[in-house]
Amino acid sequence: MPYFDNNATTPLLEAAEEAYMLASRDHWQNPSSPYRSAARARNLFDDDREWLAGLMGCPVEAIVFNSGATEGNNAVFNYLAGKHSSRARVVVSTIEHPSVLEPARAAFPDRVDYIPVLPSGISDLSVLAKLLKNPDIVLVSLMAANNESGVLQPWRKCLKMCRQKGVPFHTDASQWLGKMPSDGLGECDYVTACAHKFGGPKGVGFDIINQRETSFRSQLGGLHERGHRAGTENFPGIRSMVAALKYLYENLDRTLAEQEVRRNIFEKTLCQQIPGMRIIGSSDERLWNTVYLVMPGFANTRWVSLLDKRGFTVSTGSACASGTEGPSHVLAAMGIESQEAHRILRISGHWDTSSAAWNGLNAAFVEVWEELNRPKSSARETMVISV
Ligand code: PLP
């Protein structure tokens, strides 16, 4: 069944599944235990950490494995709130994932400043330049790529601006890692990522924590992760996450070249077939897998269910926002009117989504559009005749 909701979560890549099964079968011991079988698990674990640090371009000691991006984002804000005085403020973009926005507001009540986005979906760093004049700012957080629109955010430029002012910088790279080159991420003071967005298992991720932050503690109760996060490490999960990244970064150039072309053909063809349909965020650089659409008519939930009946899974927005009343905060930040927000669809492909799958989705969209526009009376007539 062609799955087009990979920004919500991904199926396990084969390499990741294999690594998980092997580690669970052969290296299930606690890597901290004092015998040889556990030491073998520890050695493999150390190799994985080293490989990941190499990919990210950060010291090995900066990596703190955890359960995923929600934990990672919470940990950064909670740590900084404990470290700084009650005057300290943080800056976040208005389109961050709730796992950044909510801990920022909870840990720094009434002391959060915002970077707005332009209608294209890209953060407006001219506002950041003004905010950075305040000496009370202790962190700026800007996601690397947005989970709803797929728009790439200017996190490298943001990092540079923060460096010039001596302000620490955090990026939530959950949607970037595995899809885009990793260069430069290791230079950020804090980075958050999770495996299930790039073909790894759920419930595994990591933070990069700047080396100067020796007192960083996200969980107490043991000396795991050099005391930064207590709790027995999920070694099979970590091994599987690293295996997914190895596979993806070996094939990244090919993926980027092939998948972006497939996505662009899909968009171009669909725009010709469904008049009045609009693509959001396409005026700036986007993730190669994401299509964010405003349909010309009918509620997005009807589109989702009729496409689903034809075997194609797409989303109404982020997994967190869908199912809630009202438009998502990302759409609101981009200035999308609420009557349009209910006609939004998010389509997100995979590293190996075939041309046939994109073409099939295209045909299904056209079929659904025709079905939705079919006069109701003819449907009733058909029913009467068939009875
Ligand atoms: N940050 C972003 C940008 C995301 O898209 C998500 C997942 O939806 C998260 C954080 C939360 O990740 P996790 O499910 O690993 O807690």
Provide the 8-state DSSP code for 186.
G
**Which pLDDT value is given to residue 231?**
95
- Dist. CA 8 → ligand 1 center (Å): 8
d(CA 346, CA 4): 8
* Whether residue 97 has its Cβ less than 6 Å from ligand 1: yes
Using one digit for the tens of pLDDT, what is the confidence trace for 209-247? 988 888 999 999 999 999 999 999 999 999 999 999 999
Q: pLDDT grade, residue 1 (50/70/90)?
A: confident
Protein residue whose Cα sits closest to atom 13 of ligand 1: 69
**Which pLDDT value is given to residue 62?**
96
Q: Catalytic amino acids?
A: 320
Q: Which range is least confidently modeled, 19-23, 242-246, 285-289, 315-319?
A: 315-319
**Which pLDDT value is given to residue 386?**
36
Q: pLDDT grade, residue 59 (50/70/90)?
A: very high
User: 39 or 325: whose pLDDT is higher?
Assistant: 39
Q: pLDDT grade, residue 103 (50/70/90)?
A: very high
Sequence ranges of the domains in the chain: 14-250, 253-370
Residue 46, helix vs strand vs coil: helix
d(CA 123, CA 115): 6
The answer to whether residue 30 scores a pLDDT higher than 50 is yes
d(CA 28, CA 236): 7
**Which pLDDT value is given to residue 381?**
47
Is residue 73 within 8 Å of residue 103, measured between CB atoms? yes
Q: Which bin fits 230, alpha (ψ -120 to 50), beta or left (φ > 0)?
A: beta
CATH classification of 253-370, choosing from 3.40.640.10, 3.90.1150.10, 3.40.630.30, 3.30.2010.10? 3.90.1150.10
Q: pLDDT grade, residue 324 (50/70/90)?
A: low
The pTM (predicted TM-score) of the whole model is: 0.94
* Whether residue 225 has its Cβ less than 6 Å from ligand 1: no
d(CA 49, CA 38): 16
Q: pLDDT grade, residue 327 (50/70/90)?
A: confident
Q: Report the pLDDT averaged over residues 325-329.
A: 76
Instruction: Note every long-range contact of 302-309, with CB atoms under 8 Å and residues 24 or more positions apart, other chains counting.
Output: 302/372, 303/345, 303/368, 303/372, 304/345, 306/368, 306/371, 306/372, 307/361, 307/364, 307/365, 307/368
* Whether residue 179 has its Cβ less than 6 Å from ligand 1: no
Protein residue whose Cα sits closest to atom 8 of ligand 1: 8
Q: pLDDT grade, residue 339 (50/70/90)?
A: confident
CATH classification of 14-250, choosing from 3.40.640.10, 3.40.50.2000, 3.40.50.2300, 3.30.70.1070? 3.40.640.10
Q: Which residues pair with 112 in a beta bridge?
A: 90
d(CA 242, CA 234): 12
Atom of ligand 1 nearest to the CA of 96: 3
Using one digit for the tens of pLDDT, what is the confidence trace for 179-196? 999 999 999 999 999 999
The answer to whether residue 380 scores a pLDDT higher than 80 is no
d(CA 122, CA 129): 15
Sign, CA dihedral 111-143-233-189, equals negative
* Whether residue 69 has its Cβ less than 6 Å from ligand 1: yes
Using one digit for the tens of pLDDT, what is the confidence trace for 160-185? 999 999 999 999 999 999 999 999 99
Q: pLDDT grade, residue 383 (50/70/90)?
A: very low
* Whether residue 202 has its Cβ less than 6 Å from ligand 1: no
Sign, CA dihedral 29-32-35-38, equals positive
**Which pLDDT value is given to residue 377?**
64
Instruction: Note every long-range contact of 155-161, with CB atoms under 8 Å and residues 24 or more positions apart, other chains counting.
Output: 155/188, 156/184, 157/125, 158/123, 158/125, 158/128, 159/184, 159/187, 159/188, 161/125, 161/128, 161/129, 161/132
d(CA 119, CA 125): 14
* Whether residue 199 has its Cβ less than 6 Å from ligand 1: no
Query: What DSSP string describes 77-101?
Result: HHHHHHHS-TT-EEEEETT--HHHH
* Whether residue 70 has its Cβ less than 6 Å from ligand 1: yes
- Dist. CA 345 → ligand 1 center (Å): 19
The pLDDT mean for the chain works out to 94
Q: Which of the listed residues 147, 149, 241, 315 should we mutate to test ligand 1's pocket, taking the one with most ligand atoms within 8 A of CB? A: 147
- Dist. CA 129 → ligand 1 center (Å): 27
The answer to whether residue 382 scores a pLDDT higher than 50 is no
Q: What percent of the chain is modeled with pLDDT above 90?
A: 90
- Dist. CA 97 → ligand 1 center (Å): 7
d(CA 200, CA 385): 52
Protein residue whose Cα sits closest to atom 10 of ligand 1: 69
Q: What percent of the chain is modeled with pLDDT above 70?
A: 95
**Which pLDDT value is given to residue 185?**
98
